[in-house]
Amino acid sequence: MDSIYLLNSLWVVLGAILVILMQGGFILLEAGSTRMKNAGHIAGKTIFTFGLASLVFWAVGFGFIFGDNANFFVGLSHFFYSGYELEGMNLSSSVFFLFQLAFAGIAITIALGGFAERAKMSIYLVFTVLFSALVYPVVAHWIWGGGWLAEHGKQDFAGSTVVHLTGAMAAFAATILLKPRIGKFNQDGSANNIFGHNQVFTALGVLVLWIGWFGFNAASTLGVEDGFFGYVALNTNLAAAAGAVAALIVSWAVLGKSDVPTMLNGALAGLVAITASCAFVDTWAAVLIGFIAGILVFYSVRFFEKRKIDDPIYALSVHGAAGVWGTISTGFFATPELAAVGKPGLFYGGGFEQLGVQIMGVGVSGAYAFAVSFIILFAAKKLMGGLRVTEEEEIMGLDMSEHGSYGYPEVFLSKEDKISS
Protein backbone atom coordinates (compact mmCIF):
# COMPACT_ATOMS: atom_id res chain seq x y z
CA MET A 1 0.00 0.00 0.00
CA ASP A 2 1.75 3.20 -1.16
CA SER A 3 2.00 6.48 0.69
CA ILE A 4 -0.16 8.41 -1.80
CA TYR A 5 -3.03 5.97 -1.22
CA LEU A 6 -2.74 6.54 2.52
CA LEU A 7 -2.42 10.32 2.22
CA ASN A 8 -5.41 10.51 -0.12
CA SER A 9 -7.45 8.40 2.27
CA LEU A 10 -6.43 10.54 5.25
CA TRP A 11 -7.26 13.78 3.42
CA VAL A 12 -10.69 12.62 2.27
CA VAL A 13 -11.68 11.17 5.66
CA LEU A 14 -10.75 14.55 7.17
CA GLY A 15 -12.99 16.13 4.53
CA ALA A 16 -15.81 13.77 5.47
CA ILE A 17 -15.43 14.73 9.13
CA LEU A 18 -15.59 18.43 8.21
CA VAL A 19 -18.72 17.91 6.11
CA ILE A 20 -20.42 15.93 8.89
CA LEU A 21 -19.45 18.73 11.29
CA MET A 22 -21.48 21.05 9.06
CA GLN A 23 -24.56 19.44 10.63
CA GLY A 24 -23.58 21.30 13.78
CA GLY A 25 -23.43 24.50 11.76
CA PHE A 26 -26.93 23.85 10.44
CA ILE A 27 -28.22 23.19 13.97
CA LEU A 28 -26.90 26.57 15.15
CA LEU A 29 -28.01 28.36 11.98
CA GLU A 30 -31.52 26.96 11.90
CA ALA A 31 -32.12 27.13 15.66
CA GLY A 32 -30.78 30.67 15.86
CA SER A 33 -32.91 31.75 12.90
CA THR A 34 -36.14 30.46 14.46
CA ARG A 35 -37.90 30.86 17.79
CA MET A 36 -36.62 29.35 21.02
CA LYS A 37 -39.79 27.29 21.54
CA ASN A 38 -38.61 25.15 18.60
CA ALA A 39 -34.86 25.07 19.30
CA GLY A 40 -34.66 21.64 20.93
CA HIS A 41 -36.82 20.16 18.16
CA ILE A 42 -34.56 21.59 15.46
CA ALA A 43 -31.41 20.29 17.12
CA GLY A 44 -32.84 16.84 17.73
CA LYS A 45 -34.44 16.30 14.33
CA THR A 46 -31.18 17.28 12.60
CA ILE A 47 -29.28 14.51 14.39
CA PHE A 48 -32.12 12.02 13.88
CA THR A 49 -32.54 12.71 10.16
CA PHE A 50 -28.80 12.59 9.53
CA GLY A 51 -28.72 9.19 11.18
CA LEU A 52 -31.69 7.98 9.17
CA ALA A 53 -30.28 9.35 5.90
CA SER A 54 -26.98 7.59 6.65
CA LEU A 55 -28.74 4.22 6.88
CA VAL A 56 -30.70 4.80 3.68
CA PHE A 57 -27.53 5.85 1.88
CA TRP A 58 -25.78 2.68 3.07
CA ALA A 59 -28.68 0.50 1.97
CA VAL A 60 -29.50 1.96 -1.46
CA GLY A 61 -28.29 5.53 -1.97
CA PHE A 62 -24.65 4.79 -2.71
CA GLY A 63 -25.61 1.99 -5.09
CA PHE A 64 -28.09 4.18 -6.95
CA ILE A 65 -25.38 6.82 -7.46
CA PHE A 66 -22.25 4.80 -8.19
CA GLY A 67 -23.52 1.31 -8.94
CA ASP A 68 -22.81 -0.59 -12.13
CA ASN A 69 -25.44 -1.87 -14.60
CA ALA A 70 -26.89 1.63 -14.68
CA ASN A 71 -30.09 2.52 -16.50
CA PHE A 72 -31.24 6.01 -17.48
CA PHE A 73 -31.87 7.01 -13.86
CA VAL A 74 -29.62 5.11 -11.45
CA GLY A 75 -26.92 2.55 -10.87
CA LEU A 76 -27.93 -0.95 -9.81
CA SER A 77 -25.19 -2.42 -7.61
CA HIS A 78 -23.16 -1.77 -4.44
CA PHE A 79 -26.26 -1.88 -2.23
CA PHE A 80 -25.68 -2.41 1.52
CA TYR A 81 -22.05 -1.50 1.02
CA SER A 82 -19.82 -3.67 3.21
CA GLY A 83 -16.42 -2.01 2.86
CA TYR A 84 -15.01 -3.82 -0.16
CA GLU A 85 -12.64 -1.96 -2.45
CA LEU A 86 -13.96 -0.39 -5.65
CA GLU A 87 -12.02 -0.34 -8.90
CA GLY A 88 -10.11 2.68 -10.19
CA MET A 89 -9.66 4.52 -6.88
CA ASN A 90 -6.41 5.67 -5.32
CA LEU A 91 -7.88 5.93 -1.83
CA SER A 92 -9.83 3.72 0.53
CA SER A 93 -13.27 2.92 -0.88
CA SER A 94 -14.71 3.02 2.64
CA VAL A 95 -13.43 6.59 2.99
CA PHE A 96 -14.96 7.51 -0.36
CA PHE A 97 -18.27 6.00 0.80
CA LEU A 98 -18.20 8.01 4.03
CA PHE A 99 -17.41 11.21 2.13
CA GLN A 100 -20.34 10.69 -0.22
CA LEU A 101 -22.62 9.82 2.70
CA ALA A 102 -21.77 13.15 4.32
CA PHE A 103 -22.95 14.99 1.19
CA ALA A 104 -26.25 13.09 1.17
CA GLY A 105 -26.74 14.14 4.78
CA ILE A 106 -26.25 17.81 3.91
CA ALA A 107 -28.80 17.61 1.08
CA ILE A 108 -31.58 16.32 3.34
CA THR A 109 -30.74 18.87 6.04
CA ILE A 110 -31.14 21.68 3.49
CA ALA A 111 -34.43 20.19 2.31
CA LEU A 112 -35.84 19.95 5.82
CA GLY A 113 -35.15 23.64 6.41
CA GLY A 114 -38.36 24.31 4.47
CA PHE A 115 -40.32 22.37 7.11
CA ALA A 116 -39.17 24.51 10.04
CA GLU A 117 -41.51 25.40 12.91
CA ARG A 118 -44.63 23.68 11.58
CA ALA A 119 -44.11 20.11 10.31
CA LYS A 120 -44.91 16.90 12.19
CA MET A 121 -41.99 14.76 13.31
CA SER A 122 -43.50 11.79 11.46
CA ILE A 123 -43.24 13.70 8.19
CA TYR A 124 -39.53 14.28 8.76
CA LEU A 125 -39.11 10.52 9.08
CA VAL A 126 -41.04 9.59 5.93
CA PHE A 127 -39.59 12.34 3.78
CA THR A 128 -36.01 11.67 4.88
CA VAL A 129 -36.27 8.03 3.82
CA LEU A 130 -37.86 8.73 0.44
CA PHE A 131 -35.77 11.79 -0.43
CA SER A 132 -32.57 9.92 0.45
CA ALA A 133 -33.62 6.99 -1.74
CA LEU A 134 -35.53 8.52 -4.66
CA VAL A 135 -34.47 12.16 -5.07
CA TYR A 136 -30.87 12.89 -4.09
CA PRO A 137 -29.29 9.69 -5.51
CA VAL A 138 -30.92 10.15 -8.90
CA VAL A 139 -29.59 13.67 -9.44
CA ALA A 140 -26.21 12.65 -8.01
CA HIS A 141 -26.02 9.70 -10.42
CA TRP A 142 -26.85 11.89 -13.40
CA ILE A 143 -23.98 14.27 -12.63
CA TRP A 144 -21.42 12.41 -10.46
CA GLY A 145 -22.14 8.76 -11.10
CA GLY A 146 -21.50 8.70 -14.84
CA GLY A 147 -25.12 9.40 -15.79
CA TRP A 148 -26.48 11.23 -18.79
CA LEU A 149 -25.62 14.75 -17.59
CA ALA A 150 -22.04 13.64 -16.94
CA GLU A 151 -21.92 12.39 -20.52
CA HIS A 152 -22.91 15.91 -21.64
CA GLY A 153 -20.02 17.39 -19.61
CA LYS A 154 -22.11 18.96 -16.84
CA GLN A 155 -19.77 20.84 -14.47
CA ASP A 156 -20.58 20.65 -10.76
CA PHE A 157 -17.37 20.03 -8.88
CA ALA A 158 -18.73 19.71 -5.34
CA GLY A 159 -22.49 20.07 -5.56
CA SER A 160 -24.11 23.47 -6.23
CA THR A 161 -26.71 21.47 -8.14
CA VAL A 162 -26.36 17.95 -6.73
CA VAL A 163 -26.55 18.96 -3.07
CA HIS A 164 -27.75 22.54 -2.74
CA LEU A 165 -30.26 22.99 -5.54
CA THR A 166 -31.68 19.51 -4.96
CA GLY A 167 -32.20 20.25 -1.27
CA ALA A 168 -33.62 23.70 -2.00
CA MET A 169 -36.20 22.43 -4.49
CA ALA A 170 -37.39 19.87 -1.96
CA ALA A 171 -37.67 22.69 0.58
CA PHE A 172 -39.67 24.66 -2.01
CA ALA A 173 -42.17 21.82 -2.34
CA ALA A 174 -42.49 21.69 1.44
CA THR A 175 -43.10 25.42 1.84
CA ILE A 176 -45.90 25.28 -0.73
CA LEU A 177 -47.70 22.32 0.83
CA LEU A 178 -47.13 23.27 4.47
CA LYS A 179 -48.17 26.90 3.87
CA PRO A 180 -46.82 29.82 5.94
CA ARG A 181 -46.36 29.83 9.69
CA ILE A 182 -49.08 31.39 11.81
CA GLY A 183 -48.64 35.17 11.84
CA LYS A 184 -46.16 35.38 8.97
CA PHE A 185 -48.49 37.17 6.55
CA ASN A 186 -51.32 39.63 7.08
CA GLN A 187 -54.62 39.52 5.21
CA ASP A 188 -53.42 42.22 2.82
CA GLY A 189 -50.45 40.04 1.88
CA SER A 190 -47.83 42.06 3.76
CA ALA A 191 -45.23 40.08 5.67
CA ASN A 192 -44.36 40.23 9.34
CA ASN A 193 -40.85 39.58 10.55
CA ILE A 194 -40.64 36.45 12.70
CA PHE A 195 -37.26 37.05 14.25
CA GLY A 196 -34.87 34.27 15.11
CA HIS A 197 -34.15 33.98 18.82
CA ASN A 198 -30.33 34.07 18.77
CA GLN A 199 -28.32 35.96 16.17
CA VAL A 200 -25.06 34.86 17.80
CA PHE A 201 -26.03 31.21 17.23
CA THR A 202 -26.78 32.04 13.61
CA ALA A 203 -23.42 33.73 13.11
CA LEU A 204 -21.56 30.90 14.82
CA GLY A 205 -23.46 28.44 12.63
CA VAL A 206 -22.31 30.28 9.52
CA LEU A 207 -18.70 30.18 10.73
CA VAL A 208 -18.90 26.42 11.38
CA LEU A 209 -20.37 25.93 7.91
CA TRP A 210 -17.67 28.13 6.38
CA ILE A 211 -14.96 25.97 7.95
CA GLY A 212 -16.77 22.77 7.03
CA TRP A 213 -16.95 23.93 3.42
CA PHE A 214 -13.19 23.40 3.06
CA GLY A 215 -13.97 19.72 3.46
CA PHE A 216 -16.95 20.04 1.18
CA ASN A 217 -15.03 21.61 -1.71
CA ALA A 218 -11.31 21.04 -1.20
CA ALA A 219 -11.62 17.36 -0.27
CA SER A 220 -13.66 16.79 -3.43
CA THR A 221 -10.31 16.65 -5.22
CA LEU A 222 -10.18 13.14 -3.65
CA GLY A 223 -6.42 13.39 -3.47
CA VAL A 224 -3.35 15.36 -2.44
CA GLU A 225 -0.86 14.50 -5.18
CA ASP A 226 -0.57 17.90 -6.89
CA GLY A 227 -1.73 20.11 -4.01
CA PHE A 228 -4.67 21.36 -6.09
CA PHE A 229 -6.93 21.12 -3.04
CA GLY A 230 -5.25 24.29 -1.79
CA TYR A 231 -6.36 26.23 -4.85
CA VAL A 232 -9.92 24.94 -4.42
CA ALA A 233 -9.85 26.05 -0.77
CA LEU A 234 -8.59 29.49 -1.80
CA ASN A 235 -11.41 30.00 -4.29
CA THR A 236 -13.91 28.79 -1.68
CA ASN A 237 -12.76 31.35 0.88
CA LEU A 238 -12.64 34.23 -1.60
CA ALA A 239 -16.21 33.61 -2.76
CA ALA A 240 -17.54 33.40 0.80
CA ALA A 241 -15.79 36.64 1.72
CA ALA A 242 -17.11 38.42 -1.37
CA GLY A 243 -20.64 37.16 -0.72
CA ALA A 244 -20.64 38.46 2.85
CA VAL A 245 -19.32 41.88 1.82
CA ALA A 246 -21.70 42.24 -1.13
CA ALA A 247 -24.77 41.30 0.92
CA LEU A 248 -23.86 43.75 3.67
CA ILE A 249 -23.29 46.55 1.16
CA VAL A 250 -26.54 45.99 -0.70
CA SER A 251 -28.58 45.77 2.51
CA TRP A 252 -26.97 48.96 3.78
CA ALA A 253 -27.68 50.76 0.51
CA VAL A 254 -31.30 49.61 0.23
CA LEU A 255 -32.42 49.42 3.87
CA GLY A 256 -30.27 52.15 5.37
CA LYS A 257 -28.92 49.63 7.88
CA SER A 258 -26.27 46.95 7.53
CA ASP A 259 -28.49 43.95 8.16
CA VAL A 260 -26.66 41.11 9.98
CA PRO A 261 -28.86 38.19 8.79
CA THR A 262 -28.47 39.38 5.21
CA MET A 263 -24.69 39.51 5.58
CA LEU A 264 -24.66 35.98 7.00
CA ASN A 265 -26.83 34.74 4.16
CA GLY A 266 -24.45 36.44 1.74
CA ALA A 267 -21.49 34.46 3.06
CA LEU A 268 -23.45 31.22 2.68
CA ALA A 269 -24.64 32.20 -0.80
CA GLY A 270 -21.04 32.81 -1.85
CA LEU A 271 -20.10 29.36 -0.54
CA VAL A 272 -23.00 27.68 -2.32
CA ALA A 273 -22.26 29.45 -5.59
CA ILE A 274 -18.55 28.62 -5.68
CA THR A 275 -19.20 24.95 -4.89
CA ALA A 276 -19.82 24.09 -8.55
CA SER A 277 -16.98 26.15 -9.97
CA CYS A 278 -14.22 26.19 -7.33
CA ALA A 279 -11.97 23.88 -9.38
CA PHE A 280 -12.74 25.39 -12.77
CA VAL A 281 -12.29 29.17 -12.45
CA ASP A 282 -9.61 31.78 -11.77
CA THR A 283 -9.46 33.52 -8.40
CA TRP A 284 -10.85 36.82 -9.75
CA ALA A 285 -13.86 34.90 -11.08
CA ALA A 286 -14.36 33.27 -7.66
CA VAL A 287 -14.57 36.73 -6.12
CA LEU A 288 -17.06 37.87 -8.76
CA ILE A 289 -19.17 34.71 -8.42
CA GLY A 290 -19.37 35.18 -4.65
CA PHE A 291 -20.08 38.91 -4.93
CA ILE A 292 -22.98 38.36 -7.33
CA ALA A 293 -24.33 35.60 -5.08
CA GLY A 294 -24.34 37.99 -2.12
CA ILE A 295 -26.41 40.53 -4.05
CA LEU A 296 -28.67 37.83 -5.48
CA VAL A 297 -29.57 36.40 -2.08
CA PHE A 298 -30.73 39.80 -0.82
CA TYR A 299 -33.22 40.26 -3.67
CA SER A 300 -34.20 36.59 -3.80
CA VAL A 301 -35.39 36.62 -0.18
CA ARG A 302 -37.64 39.57 -0.95
CA PHE A 303 -38.87 37.99 -4.17
CA PHE A 304 -40.13 34.88 -2.39
CA GLU A 305 -41.57 36.81 0.54
CA LYS A 306 -43.65 38.99 -1.78
CA ARG A 307 -45.16 35.79 -3.16
CA LYS A 308 -46.18 34.66 0.33
CA ILE A 309 -43.66 31.85 0.47
CA ASP A 310 -42.54 31.38 4.06
CA ASP A 311 -38.97 30.07 4.03
CA PRO A 312 -37.74 30.35 7.64
CA ILE A 313 -34.04 29.68 7.01
CA TYR A 314 -33.95 31.03 3.44
CA ALA A 315 -33.15 27.70 1.80
CA LEU A 316 -34.69 28.80 -1.50
CA SER A 317 -32.46 31.85 -1.74
CA VAL A 318 -29.22 30.68 -0.13
CA HIS A 319 -29.16 27.17 -1.59
CA GLY A 320 -31.58 27.51 -4.50
CA ALA A 321 -30.94 30.85 -6.21
CA ALA A 322 -27.23 30.81 -5.35
CA GLY A 323 -27.00 27.17 -6.42
CA VAL A 324 -28.46 28.02 -9.82
CA TRP A 325 -26.13 30.98 -10.26
CA GLY A 326 -23.08 29.03 -9.14
CA THR A 327 -23.79 26.18 -11.54
CA ILE A 328 -24.43 28.45 -14.49
CA SER A 329 -21.35 30.55 -13.69
CA THR A 330 -18.98 27.86 -14.95
CA GLY A 331 -20.58 28.28 -18.36
CA PHE A 332 -19.12 31.79 -18.33
CA PHE A 333 -15.88 31.47 -16.36
CA ALA A 334 -14.48 27.93 -16.69
CA THR A 335 -10.94 28.26 -18.05
CA PRO A 336 -9.34 25.98 -20.67
CA GLU A 337 -6.59 25.05 -18.20
CA LEU A 338 -8.95 24.12 -15.36
CA ALA A 339 -11.97 22.66 -17.16
CA ALA A 340 -11.16 19.02 -16.46
CA VAL A 341 -14.85 18.28 -17.01
CA GLY A 342 -16.77 19.71 -19.95
CA LYS A 343 -15.48 22.66 -21.96
CA PRO A 344 -14.32 26.23 -21.30
CA GLY A 345 -16.87 28.91 -20.60
CA LEU A 346 -18.20 31.64 -22.85
CA PHE A 347 -15.66 34.24 -21.73
CA TYR A 348 -12.77 31.90 -22.55
CA GLY A 349 -13.65 31.12 -26.14
CA GLY A 350 -15.84 28.10 -25.43
CA GLY A 351 -18.94 29.59 -26.98
CA PHE A 352 -22.39 28.85 -25.64
CA GLU A 353 -22.06 25.05 -25.53
CA GLN A 354 -21.00 24.68 -21.88
CA LEU A 355 -23.38 27.42 -20.78
CA GLY A 356 -26.21 25.52 -22.46
CA VAL A 357 -25.23 22.29 -20.71
CA GLN A 358 -25.17 24.08 -17.35
CA ILE A 359 -28.59 25.64 -17.88
CA MET A 360 -30.04 22.32 -19.01
CA GLY A 361 -28.58 20.53 -15.99
CA VAL A 362 -29.99 23.09 -13.57
CA GLY A 363 -33.42 22.98 -15.19
CA VAL A 364 -33.77 19.21 -15.35
CA SER A 365 -32.25 18.50 -11.93
CA GLY A 366 -34.27 21.21 -10.20
CA ALA A 367 -37.51 20.14 -11.87
CA TYR A 368 -36.96 16.49 -10.94
CA ALA A 369 -36.13 17.28 -7.30
CA PHE A 370 -39.17 19.55 -6.96
CA ALA A 371 -41.63 17.24 -8.71
CA VAL A 372 -40.70 14.06 -6.86
CA SER A 373 -40.51 15.87 -3.50
CA PHE A 374 -43.93 17.42 -4.12
CA ILE A 375 -45.43 14.03 -4.99
CA ILE A 376 -43.94 12.43 -1.87
CA LEU A 377 -45.24 15.18 0.39
CA PHE A 378 -48.65 15.38 -1.29
CA ALA A 379 -49.10 11.63 -0.88
CA ALA A 380 -47.96 11.82 2.75
CA LYS A 381 -50.43 14.63 3.38
CA LYS A 382 -53.30 12.49 2.11
CA LEU A 383 -52.22 9.23 3.75
CA MET A 384 -50.98 10.54 7.10
CA GLY A 385 -53.66 13.06 7.97
CA GLY A 386 -51.67 16.15 7.06
CA LEU A 387 -48.13 17.41 7.15
CA ARG A 388 -48.52 20.09 9.76
CA VAL A 389 -49.00 20.18 13.51
CA THR A 390 -52.22 21.70 14.83
CA GLU A 391 -52.56 25.44 15.39
CA GLU A 392 -52.43 24.89 19.14
CA GLU A 393 -49.25 22.79 18.84
CA GLU A 394 -47.57 25.34 16.58
CA ILE A 395 -48.31 28.15 19.02
CA MET A 396 -47.09 26.01 21.92
CA GLY A 397 -43.90 25.17 20.02
CA LEU A 398 -42.61 21.90 18.63
CA ASP A 399 -40.26 21.34 21.55
CA MET A 400 -43.19 20.56 23.82
CA SER A 401 -45.82 19.35 21.34
CA GLU A 402 -43.53 16.86 19.55
CA HIS A 403 -41.03 15.94 22.27
CA GLY A 404 -42.54 16.82 25.63
CA SER A 405 -39.66 19.00 26.80
CA TYR A 406 -38.25 22.43 25.99
CA GLY A 407 -34.83 23.24 24.62
CA TYR A 408 -34.86 26.17 27.08
CA PRO A 409 -36.85 24.76 30.03
CA GLU A 410 -35.88 27.50 32.48
CA VAL A 411 -37.39 30.11 30.17
CA PHE A 412 -40.73 28.40 29.73
CA LEU A 413 -41.32 26.97 33.19
CA SER A 414 -43.78 28.98 35.26
CA LYS A 415 -42.68 30.68 38.44
CA GLU A 416 -44.37 27.95 40.46
CA ASP A 417 -42.49 25.25 38.53
CA LYS A 418 -39.20 27.05 39.11
CA ILE A 419 -39.85 27.35 42.83
CA SER A 420 -40.91 23.72 43.19
CA SER A 421 -37.90 22.53 41.25
- For 73-94, the pLDDT digits (tens) are 899 999 999 999 998 899 999 9
CA distances to 39, 120, 177 from 412, in Å: 12, 21, 30
pLDDT value at position 414? Answer: 58
CA distances to 206, 223, 297 from 243, in Å: 12, 28, 9
Superfamily covering domain 1-407: Ammonium transporter AmtB like domains (1.10.3430.10)
* Nearest of 418, 389, 22 to residue 181 by alpha carbon: 389
The pLDDT confidence band at residue 419, using thresholds 50, 70 and 90, is very low
pLDDT value at position 415? Answer: 45
CA–CA separation, 148 and 20 (whole Å)? 29
What is the dihedral angle through the alpha carbons of 49, 51, 57, 59, rounded to the nearest 10 degrees? -120
pLDDT digits (tens, 9 = 90+) for 18-77: 999 999 999 999 999 999 999 999 999 999 999 999 999 999 999 999 998 878 789 999
pLDDT digits (tens, 9 = 90+) for 98-120: 999 999 999 999 999 999 999 99
- The answer to whether 114 and 175 are in contact (CB under 8 A) is yes
Domain ranges of the chain: 1-407
pLDDT digits (tens, 9 = 90+) for 195-246: 999 999 999 999 999 999 999 999 999 999 899 999 999 999 999 999 999 9
Q: Is 379 helix (H, G, I), strand (E, B) or coil?
A: helix
Helix, strand, coil shares of the chain as percentages rounded to 5?
Answer: 70, 0, 30
DSSP 180: P
Which residue pairs from 297-303 have beta carbons closer than 8 angstroms and sit at least 24 positions apart in sequence? 297/243, 297/247, 297/262, 297/265, 297/266, 297/268, 297/269, 297/321, 297/322, 298/247, 298/250, 298/251, 298/254, 298/262, 298/265, 298/266, 301/262, 301/265
Amino acid identity at 344:
P
As to burial, measured by CB atoms within 10 angstroms (0-12 exposed, 13-18 middle, 19+ buried), residue 174 is buried
The pLDDT confidence band at residue 421, using thresholds 50, 70 and 90, is very low
pLDDT at 145 over 90: yes
As to burial, measured by CB atoms within 10 angstroms (0-12 exposed, 13-18 middle, 19+ buried), residue 396 is middle
pTM to 2 decimals? 0.95
CA–CA separation, 316 and 299 (whole Å)? 12
Q: What is the DSSP string of 28-97?
A: HHHHHTS-GGGHHHHHHHHHHHHHHHHHHIIIIIHHHHH-SS--SS------S--SPPPTT-SS-HHHHH
* Nearest of 387, 35, 388, 395 to residue 182 by alpha carbon: 395
* Nearest of 212, 334, 193 to residue 262 by alpha carbon: 193
Average pLDDT rounded to a whole number, residues 351-376: 98
